[in-house]
């Protein structure tokens, strides 16, 4: 049925249960769209939550039904091998499109708009219980043997907005002019059961768990092979969050800022010492902690890959869960996935994923310490031959504040543990070469929030950090005069980068005795490289190197 042909009266009245009853008495026929619309608003509106019960009481709506337009992405449109193990180099990510969700999923999705989290929990529990009761035999989350279970469809590409815009026009009874976002590539789809999706997105899953009780199949797997426990490890809240936690327990709204939130530091959404965390809940119930998914990823991989969906600058809280799994299931610590990525490498990669403020340490670096304490091999490399030092070189090793201090502490620790400072990856790059080429002025300026004038005064503290990092590598035996496969020295690499730090870095390398006249495989000196960046004039960096040579020659 096209949207313009349907009866919109009930959908427009879902927040007013008395009006819904009146419409039903007048002969209006409810459908899946009305139920989904009520569930969509029910977390923040008790009236909409009551409407869910009213609509289900009519017996006219299948609790598993979705609006007809969602059929476009039913399982028939999913490639058979979309979640197969041969995709282990880049497992697909599930991107949620609410227009494809079932009523139960909508009912248990926490509203990010300002509202009391306990009120939302009560409303969501009320809706979910009603849906599950009416749905007990036809929809059984966590029960793979039920042949009537149809996994939730979820978008793996860019979410199209056309249907949503059209729906809003009819709901508001007015025309809304807005541009639709058309995907650049054809949409690809995968499937993910509701309980797995709720867990991974950090939504309110407790009512489903309570309803299922001992009937919950702990080893139920989604199509990517993730068990209930593995999905819990991927929680956007963090596996340290309380089993009854929601986003509203972890963030508070800034006064006057409707959609901006600040994290409550140290909060894990655990409301009392007696409340189990996500990990504790499933471990206590006997979940298999040693399980791996289609791609060979174990619980540690998933803990370290968990991401906040809306707060990309802050990591989910996983410290206690990570330590528990690493200390009690030691075989997982040095167990790679099918792509050859170890948990230790995943922890290093996790550091690079966040642009957190320098004063907020979070649990990024401490995860490295915890894995090493549990027996992780610091000499491991990733499939591209990168060592732990390569990862630090591309993270915040050159930063100041707590983050930079911690990065350099880890650098010293790993070198003391025997990581080779001269090791090269499959592209022939050493960690120090990456360090001297990773800096980007605009990225750092934007990240720190400094104005350009202020930023230009930051060269002195950064120069001191470069001196510190170079000293760390020198003490470990790095070869400063080494050349990459193209014959490039550190001077060649630095001369090729025009940033606010190039000048100080050239002077630093000169002080270590590096020769700007050494030629690379193309016969170019570092001076030639600097000149190539200024084809119509003299390069200031080339001039600096020429003056250095003159000084050496007296």
CA distance 336 to 318: 20
Decide if pLDDT at 525 tops 90: yes
Segment among 173-187, 282-296, 325-339, 431-445 with least mean pLDDT: 173-187
CA distance 358 to 449: 12
CA 322, 325, 330, 336 torsion: positive or negative? negative
Decide if pLDDT at 187 tops 60: no
Per-residue pLDDT reduced to its tens digit, 466-492? 999 999 999 999 999 999 999 999 999
Rounded mean pLDDT, 288-303: 98
Decide if pLDDT at 89 tops 70: yes
Decide if pLDDT at 309 tops 80: no
Decide if pLDDT at 41 tops 70: yes
As a CATH number, domain 482-554 is 1.25.40.20
CB 527, CB 546: distance < 8 Å: yes
Q: What is the pLDDT of residue 270?
A: 56
- The H or E element containing residue 446 is helix 441-448
Whole-model pTM? 0.84
Segment among 146-160, 312-326, 439-453 with least mean pLDDT: 146-160
Q: Where are the beta strands (DSSP E) in 95-171?
A: 153-155
Per-residue confidence band for 135, with pLDDT thresholds at 50, 70 and 90:
low
Q: Establish whether domains 378-479 and 482-554 are of one fold.
A: yes
CA 263 to chain centre: 16
The secondary structure of residue 398, as a DSSP letter, is: T
Per-residue confidence band for 388, with pLDDT thresholds at 50, 70 and 90:
very high
How many Cβ atoms are within 10 Å of 484's Cβ, its own excluded?
18
Domain boundaries, the chain: 3-79+89-172, 378-479, 482-554
C-alpha gyration radius of the chain: 28
How many Cβ atoms are within 10 Å of 494's Cβ, its own excluded?
27
CB 388, CB 476: distance < 8 Å: no
Give the 3-state secondary structure of residue 151. Answer: coil
Per-residue confidence band for 173, with pLDDT thresholds at 50, 70 and 90:
low
Decide if pLDDT at 445 tops 70: no
Per-residue pLDDT reduced to its tens digit, 324-352? 999 999 999 999 999 999 999 999 998 87
Give the 3-state secondary structure of residue 338. Answer: coil
- Please, is 415 exposed, middle or buried when counting C-beta atoms within 10 Å of its C-beta (0-12, 13-18, 19+)? buried
Per-residue confidence band for 151, with pLDDT thresholds at 50, 70 and 90:
very low
N-terminal to C-terminal alpha carbon distance within the chain: 87
Question: Which two tokens mark 51?
Answer: 């409407």
Q: Which of 22-26, 141-145, 163-167, 265-269 has the highest mean predicted lDDT (pLDDT)?
A: 22-26
Decide if pLDDT at 202 tops 50: yes
Q: Among all chains, which residue has been given the structure tokens 């056309």?
A: 162
Strand-pairing partners, residue 424, are 430
Rounded mean pLDDT, 1-17: 81
Q: What is the DSSP string of 227-244?
A: -HHHHHHT-SS-TTSBTT
As a CATH number, domain 378-479 is 1.25.40
Question: Which two tokens mark 350?
Answer: 């996790």
CA 271, 273, 279, 284 torsion: positive or negative? negative
**What are the Cα distances from residue 246, in Å, to 30, 117, 243?**
30, 7, 9
Decide if pLDDT at 127 tops 70: yes
CA 191 to chain centre: 19
- In 13-49, which positions are buried (b, 16+ CB within 10 angstroms) versus exposed (e)? bbbbbebbeebbeeeeebbbbbbbbbbbbbbbbebbb
Per-residue confidence band for 43, with pLDDT thresholds at 50, 70 and 90:
very high
Question: Which two tokens mark 411?
Answer: 């650098």
Q: Which of 263-267, 397-401, 464-468 has the highest mean predicted lDDT (pLDDT)?
A: 464-468
Q: Among all chains, which residue has been given the structure tokens 């009305």?
A: 34
CA distance 129 to 186: 37
Of residues 50 and 274, more confidence is placed in 50
CA atoms within 13 A on the CB side of 404: 13
CB 528, CB 495: distance < 8 Å: no
Q: What is the pLDDT of residue 489?
A: 97
Of the candidates 44, 173, 62, which has an alpha carbon nearest to the alpha carbon of residue 110? 44
Decide if pLDDT at 52 tops 90: yes
Instruction: Give the distance between the most distant pair of CA atoms in the chain.
Output: 101
Per-residue confidence band for 255, with pLDDT thresholds at 50, 70 and 90:
very low
Of the candidates 208, 224, 237, 191, which has an alpha carbon nearest to the alpha carbon of residue 136? 208
Of the candidates 490, 515, 504, 487, which has an alpha carbon nearest to the alpha carbon of residue 541? 504
Of the candidates 478, 513, 473, 509, which has an alpha carbon nearest to the alpha carbon of residue 493? 509
Decide if pLDDT at 104 tops 50: yes
Three-state DSSP string of 293-312: CCCCCCHHHHHHHCCCCCCC
Per-residue confidence band for 144, with pLDDT thresholds at 50, 70 and 90:
very low
**What are the Cα distances from residue 118, in Å, to 67, 122, 123, 256?**
30, 6, 9, 22
Question: Which two tokens mark 543?
Answer: 């001039």
Average pLDDT, the chain: 80
Decide if pLDDT at 364 tops 90: no
Rounded mean pLDDT, 515-543: 86
CA distance 337 to 350: 16
Decide if pLDDT at 459 tops 70: no
pLDDT above 90 coverage of the chain, percent: 49
Q: Which are the contacts of 350, defined by CB distance < 8 A and separation ≥ 6?
A: 304, 305, 315, 364, 367
Strand-pairing partners, residue 153, are 191
Q: Which are the contacts of 472, defined by CB distance < 8 A and separation ≥ 6?
A: 408, 411, 412, 415
CA distance 283 to 289: 7
Rounded mean pLDDT, 52-81: 79
């Amino acid at each position: 049925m096209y949207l313009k042909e349907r009866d919109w009266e009930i959908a427009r009245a879902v927040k007013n249960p008395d009006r819904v009853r009146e419409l039903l008495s007048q002969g209006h026929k409810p459908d899946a769209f009305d139920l989904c619309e009520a569930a969509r608003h029910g977390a923040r509106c008790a009236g909409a939550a009551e409407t869910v019960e009213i609509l289900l009481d009519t017996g006219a709506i299948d609790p598993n039904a979705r609006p007809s337009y969602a059929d476009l992405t039913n399982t028939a449109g999913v490639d058979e091998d979309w979640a197969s193990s041969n995709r282990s180099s880049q497992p697909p990510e599930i991107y949620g499109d609410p227009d494809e969700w079932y009523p139960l999923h909508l009912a248990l999705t926490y509203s990010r708009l300002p509202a009391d989290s306990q009120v939302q929990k009560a409303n969501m529990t009320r809706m979910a219980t009603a849906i599950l009761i009416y749905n007990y035999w036809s929809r059984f989350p966590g029960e793979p043997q039920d042949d009537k279970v149809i996994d939730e469809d979820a978008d793996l590409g860019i979410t199209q907005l056309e249907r949503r815009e059209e729906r809003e026009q009819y709901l508001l009874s007015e025309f809304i002019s807005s541009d639709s976002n058309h995907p650049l590539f054809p949409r690809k789809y995968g499937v993910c059961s509701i309980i797995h999706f709720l867990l991974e997105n950090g939504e309110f899953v407790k009512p489903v768990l309570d309803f299922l009780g001992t009937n919950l199949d702990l080893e139920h797997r989604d199509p990517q092979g993730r068990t209930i426990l593995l999905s819990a490890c991927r929680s956007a809240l963090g596996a340290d969050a309380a089993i009854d936690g929601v986003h509203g327990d972890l963030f508070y709204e800034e006064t006057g800022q409707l959609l901006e939130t600040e994290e409550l530091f140290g909060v894990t959404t655990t409301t009392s010492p007696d409340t189990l965390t996500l990990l504790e809940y499933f471990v206590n119930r006997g979940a298999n902690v040693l399980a791996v998914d289609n791609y060979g990823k174990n619980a540690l991989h998933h803990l370290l890959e968990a991401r906040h969906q809306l707060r990309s600058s802050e990591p989910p809280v996983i410290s206690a869960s990570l330590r528990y799994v690493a200390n009690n299931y030691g075989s997982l610590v040095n167990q790679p996935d099918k792509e050859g990525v170890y948990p230790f490498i995943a922890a290093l990669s996790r550091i690079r994923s966040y642009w957190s403020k320098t004063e907020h340490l979070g649990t990024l670096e401490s995860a490295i310490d915890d894995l090493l304490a549990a027996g992780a091999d610091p000499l491991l490399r990733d499939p591209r031959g990168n060592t732990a030092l390569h990862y630090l070189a591309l993270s915040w090793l050159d930063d100041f504040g707590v983050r930079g201090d911690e990065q350099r502490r880890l650098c010293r620790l790993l070198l003391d543990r025997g990581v080779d400072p001269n090791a090269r990856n499959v592209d022939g790059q050493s960690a120090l070469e990456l360090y001297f080429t990773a800096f980007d002025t605009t990225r750092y300026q934007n990240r720190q929030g400094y104005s350009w004038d202020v930023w230009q005064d930051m060269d002195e503290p950064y120069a001191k950090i470069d001196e510190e990092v170079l000293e760390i590598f020198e003490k470990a035996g790095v070869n400063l005069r080494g050349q990459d496969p193209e014959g490039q020295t550190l001077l060649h690499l630095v001369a090729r980068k025009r940033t606010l730090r190039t000048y100080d870095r050239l002077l630093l390398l000169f002080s270590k005795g590096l020769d700007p006249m050494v030629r690379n495989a193309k016969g170019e000196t570092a001076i030639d490289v600097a000149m190539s960046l200024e084809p119509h004039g003299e390069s200031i960096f080339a001039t600096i190197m020429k003056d250095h040579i003159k000084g050496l020659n007296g």
